[in-house]
Amino acid sequence: MKATLFGLCILCSTAAFGQFGATISARTQQMQFETNPLHASFTPMAESQNLIGTSASTYTYAQGERPLWEVAVAKQETPLGDSARALRKEHETVKKAGRVFTN
């Protein structure tokens, strides 16, 4: 009991010293937002900019790909009642214990 109490005191004291060393200043700090002056300035209407980086006239496609519903195998699930009947039948055929001890 004494060893447990001593260990708990050591654990709590190290936690207290850890919190003491990590105190945060109570002064408030003003939030500063980053700005992008090139896109945030007021200008007349200009041509559109492509954000992807490729020209707007090109596009990409792939050949030979098949959707999953065409190739996936349908999963055969057994109904809950059938699995319960199989478990009950298995339970009846299992060898019973010879002795039963009760406390």
Please state the pTM of the whole predicted model: 0.27
- For residue range 73-93, what is the model confidence (pLDDT) as tens digits? 888 899 999 999 999 999 998
- For residue range 51-74, what is the model confidence (pLDDT) as tens digits? 776 655 666 666 777 888 888 888
DSSP string, the chain: -HHHHHHHHHHHHHHHHHHHHT----S---------HHHHS---------SSSS-TT-----SS---HHHHPPPP-PPPHHHHHHHHHHHHHHSPPPS-----
